[in-house]
Amino acid sequence: MGMARLSLRGAGAQITTEIVPVLKRCWSALPRLSELLSRLPWRRTPASDPLPLKQRTPRKEPTAKKGPEPARQVDDEDEEGALPPIIISRPVSPAIVVKPGQAKLAAAKLPAEAAADGKPYTLPAVSLLDPPVRLAVKIDEDALHASSRILESKLGDFGVEGKVVAVRPGPVITTYEFEPAPGVKVNRVVSLVDDLQMALRAVSVRILAPIAGKAVVGIEVSNPRREKVCLREILDSPGFQQSEAPLTLALGKDTVGNAIVADLARMPHLLVAGATGTGKSVSLNVMIMSLLYRVSPRDVRFIMIDPKMLELSLYEDLPHQLSHVITNPKEAGAALQEVVRRMEYRYKLLHDKGVRSVAAYNRVLETGQRAANGIIKLTEVVPEGEADDEPSAAPRVVPNGLNLTHHRLPYLVVIVDELA
C-alpha cells in the first residue's frame, strides 16, 4: 500500500510540473489576444435593441397555381425515426336534454307545410349537369382470359376444383363467375379471398357465394382503371325516368353498368355509413339532387340538420325548405320532436280517411274535390294551432276532441348530416 501511494504521488508531481508552465504561458498571452480582438471590424448590437420589423414578419409561402402540390416523399429514415402518435382521451359530451318548452318554440319556427304562393314550378333540366366523360377504355379480352386461368389455377392449388364460366366486366369491377366442381363447399372459396387478391395483384377482391339464382360463385375484382359514374347518366336512365315513385333516389351503377334507383318512401329510413373519405357526403348530395330533379315544393318539403355547418348550407334558399338549415344541436332536437308531433297528426288524418299512405290520402282528397266541385283545388295540411292565418275549410271534429282539417299532404324528408 505504501509503494502504491508513493507511485501515485510521484505521478501527480510529474503532471503538476508539466501543466504549470503551460498555464503561465496562456496567462501571459491574454492581453495580446484581447488587443487583437478589439482591432477586428466587428459591430456589436446591444441585446436590448429590437429586431427590424422585416425579420419579425413571417415568410409567406408562394401559392401554387398550376395544380396540387405533389405529396412529399417519405424516406425510410423518416419513417423509422417518426415518433408514435399521442392519443388523448377526451370526455364524452353529455346528452342534450330538450326541455318541453323548447319543442313548442321549435314548432313555432317551423312554418306550415303549405306552399302559399301556388305558383307553377318548373323542374330543372338535366342539361344543367355536365355530360359524362367517356373514357376510351378498351376491354382486353386476353387479359380477362389470363385472369380467369389464374383464378382457376390458384383455387386448384388449395384443392378447390372448378372453372370460370363467364366474365362480366363493369365500370368499376369485373365479376368472374366460378362454377365449383361437384362436392366442393362454397365456404372454401370464401376463405381464399386474400390469396386470390394477392395472386391477381388487385386492390380489392370480394366473393359473392353464391350468386342469387345461379349455381356459380361470383368473384368481384376491382379494375385497374375505374370509370366515373356521373349523375346525369343516372337521371337519363330508363330506370329513373320510368319510375312512378315520387321519391326516387339515384344511387349509382351495378357491377355490369346498369343504373341503380330506389324509392325512399319504401325504406323509409336510410343510414349512410362508412369510413372517412369513402363518399358519404357525395352520396347524400346526389340523393338530394335526384329529389330536386323529380319533385316540386308542392310534393316534398325538406328539414335539413347540419351540425358541421359545411355540407347542407348550399341548400339554404331552396323553395323546398320547411325551415332554415338547422346547425344548433339544441334546435335540432326540438325540431325532431316537432316532426314527431306532425307525424302523429298525420296518422290521425290517414286513419280518418281509411288509408295507409300519403299517396293514397292525396288520391282520396283529389277524388272528393273533383266529385264536389268539378275541379281540383287542394292546399297543404296545417296542423292544429297553425291554421289561424291559412284559408281552410271547416274542420271536422273527431270523438277525441281534436279538430282535423283535411288538406293535401306533401312528403316530409328529414336529412341529418353527421347524426352523432
Q: Which tens digits make up the pLDDT trace of 314-343?
A: 999 899 998 899 998 888 888 999 999 999
| DSSP state string for 204-219 | -EEEESS-TTSSSEEE
Cis bond before residue 210 (omega within 30° of 0): yes
Select 102-121+297-420's CATH number: 3.40.50.300, 3.40.50.970, 3.40.109.10, 3.50.50.60: 3.40.50.300
Mean pLDDT of the chain: 73
Rounded (10°) CA dihedral 276, 280, 281, 283: 150
Is pLDDT at 24 greater than 80 in this prediction?
no
Percent of the chain exceeding pLDDT 90 equals 16
pLDDT of the residue at 411: 94
The pTM of the full predicted model, rounded to 2 decimals, is: 0.59
Task: Determine the average pLDDT of the residues in 285-310.
Answer: 91
The span from the CA of 135 to the CA of 226, in Å, is 10
First to last CA, the chain: 82
The span from the CA of 210 to the CA of 184, in Å, is 13
Exposure b/e, 298-319, CB count within 10 A at least 16 = b: bbbbbbbbbbeeebbeebeeee
| Domains 102-121+297-420 and 141-222 agree in fold | no
Residue that has been written with the C-alpha cell 503532471 in this structure: 15
Q: What is the pLDDT of residues 178-193, one digit of tens each?
A: 988 888 888 888 888 8
CATH topology of domain 141-222: Threonyl-tRNA Synthetase; Chain A, domain 2 (3.30.980)
Structural domain spans, the chain = 102-121+297-420, 141-222, 228-295
